[in-house]
Copies of this chain bind each other. A is one copy, B any other.
């Protein structure tokens, strides 16, 4: 998606260790116009799969999930919470995930009452790197007895294995921008058929 790639090139800040900071429009300050446009693109791709709800992880997935859900006629969003609940209940599904960005283990949890058995679930998140968050959400969908219809991502780090693994598994995946390489000279995006 061109508008997103332009924003990454123009506003992304390169950090040591292959990290691009997109704080200025995606995960601290939000460019709401771009966010809604991204949501419409993900919605257009997955509307034929008729998702019943969008599942994401707090905090930086929420805005894109909202934008996508609005473009899908206002279906609900469920966002997984991080950390361990003070009051665990039988309805809570918890998964351990490892964050590449923060270099630590953490937990995500979802109240299974909000993922009805048999419902069609679209996962949306801001980043896909090693795919630990998406895998955690997929486990939760299985535990809920629901069905995954696809995964919509803003920025995939193509040099990390998360995206490739999902494609191998045959899971429909739309990444609005795939970064294949970050060098001193700049960012190289993948030329994909899924280009919009």
Give me the interface of A with B, judged by CB distance under 8 Å. Answer: 23-24, 28-33, 35-36, 58-60, 62-63, 66-67, 69-70, 74-79, 81, 86, 102, 110-111, 113-114
7 contacts between A and B (CB under 8 A): A29-B111, A30-B77, A30-B78, A31-B76, A33-B74, A35-B66, A58-B59
Which secondary structure dominates where chain A touches chain B?
mixed
Tell me whether B59 and A77 are in contact (CB under 8 A): no
Tell me whether B29 and A77 are in contact (CB under 8 A): yes
Tell me whether A81 and B32 are in contact (CB under 8 A): no
Tell me whether A70 and B32 are in contact (CB under 8 A): yes
Tell me whether B24 and A74 are in contact (CB under 8 A): no
**Given A59-B59, A66-B67, residue A78 in contact with residue B29 (CB < 8 A):** yes
Closest to A77 in B: B30
Tell me whether A111 and B23 are in contact (CB under 8 A): yes
Query: Closest approach, in angstroms, between the C-beta of A103 and any C-beta of chain B?
Result: 9
Other A-B contacts than A28-B79, A28-B111, A63-B63, 5 sampled, CB-CB below 8 A, are: A24-B113, A29-B77, A32-B75, A62-B63, A66-B66
Query: Closest approach, in angstroms, between the C-beta of A70 and any C-beta of chain B?
Result: 6
In the bound complex, residues from chain B placing their C-beta under 8 Å from that of A67 are 66
In the bound complex, residues from chain B placing their C-beta under 8 Å from that of A102 are 86
